[in-house]
């Protein structure tokens, strides 16, 4: 064990022997694929089946992207390094010209002071330019990740829309509720409704797990914050669903 491994035992390059120290993308995709089959078998004509199918495709693309973002983008990295070296070389050349043409007299000192003032401003801009180039790869990866998380967030809201009209009060009412022309169709039995809501909850949970793949191998604060926000959204939506499930479950006792 070298010094860095001793100092950072849980770094991104750390290798663990156990199977349960990180999310396995293949297991998540397998679970999503199985969930799609379950929904299609029980509710083949439902909109939720279509949502899960689209979510399955999105999860595959997200997993590929998350795996791809773990690797360096060599084209961007090499271009940034070349541009940074070029800027540093230009500064070194300018300093060499200044030293070569400097004269130890009153006018030379005056020109040196003027050059020093402008050189300080140029060094500030140079530092900003190098900072921009060094962080260019991280910003590209961040933008790509946030676009994927935006799609996952949209899927979560779509799942929530599909469970909005699945109201247990309609089944548990002592007196039959008279429907209007605009009332949604409620054809599910109590058992079917519980399964439907349970599938919605599973979809939301898996949505958060796919999002967590992007946060597993990065220390970008913006990405981590976006993943945490999505997890909080999913938890809130799932809590509403489980309230309905608990109402249906307790009504059977």
> What is the value of pTM for the model shown?
0.76
Taking only the tens place, the pLDDT of each residue in 52-106 is 999 999 999 999 999 988 887 777 777 777 777 777 776 676 666 656 665 555 5
Given a contact cutoff of 8 angstroms between Cβ atoms, the answer to whether 35 and 187 are in contact is no
Most confident of 38-42, 73-77, 134-138, 187-191: 38-42
DSSP the chain: --HHHHH-TTSTT---SSSSSS--HHHHHHHHHHHHHHHHHH-TTSHHHHHHHHHHHHHHHHHHHHHHHTS--HHHHHHHHHHHHHHHHHHHHHHHHHHHH--SSHHHHHHHHHHHHHHHHHHHHHHHHHHHHHTHHHHHHHHHHHHHHHHHHHHHHHHHHHHTT--HHHHH-SSPPPP-TTSPP----HHHHHHHHHHHHHHHHHHHHHHHHHHTT---HHHHHHHHHHHHHHHHHHHHHHHHHHHHHHHT-
Per-residue pLDDT tens digits for 141-182:
999 999 999 999 999 999 999 988 888 877 766 656 666 676
């Amino acid at each position: 064990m070298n010094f860095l491994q001793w100092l950072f035992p849980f770094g991104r390059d750390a290798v663990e022997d156990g199977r349960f120290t990180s999310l396995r993308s293949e297991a998540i995709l397998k679970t999503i694929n199985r969930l799609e089959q379950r929904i299609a078998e029980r509710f083949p004509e439902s909109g939720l089946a279509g949502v899960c199918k689209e979510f399955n495709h999105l999860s595959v693309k997200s997993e590929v992207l998350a795996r791809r973002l773990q690797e360096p983008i060599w084209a961007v990295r090499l271009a940034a390094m070349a541009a940074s070296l070029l800027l540093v070389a230009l500064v070194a050349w300018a300093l060499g010209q200044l030293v070569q043409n400097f004269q130890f007299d009153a006018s030379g000192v005056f020109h040196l002071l003027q050059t020093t003032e402008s050189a300080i401003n140029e060094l500030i801009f140079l530092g900003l330019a190098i900072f921009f180039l060094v962080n260019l790869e991280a910003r590209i990866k961040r933008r790509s990740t946030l676009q994927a998380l935006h799609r996952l967030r949209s899927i979560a809201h779509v799942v929530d829309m599909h469970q909005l009209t699945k109201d247990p009060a309609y089944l548990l009412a002592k007196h039959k509720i008279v429907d209007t022309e605009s009332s949604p169709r409620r054809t599910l039995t109590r058992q079917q409704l519980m399964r439907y809501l349970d599938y919605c909850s599973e979809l939301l949970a898996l949505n958060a797990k796919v999002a967590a793949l992007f946060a597993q191998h990065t220390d970008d604060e913006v990405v981590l914050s976006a993943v945490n926000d999505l997890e909080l959204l999913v938890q809130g939506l799932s809590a509403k669903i489980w309230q309905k499930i608990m109402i249906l479950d307790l009504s059977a006792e």
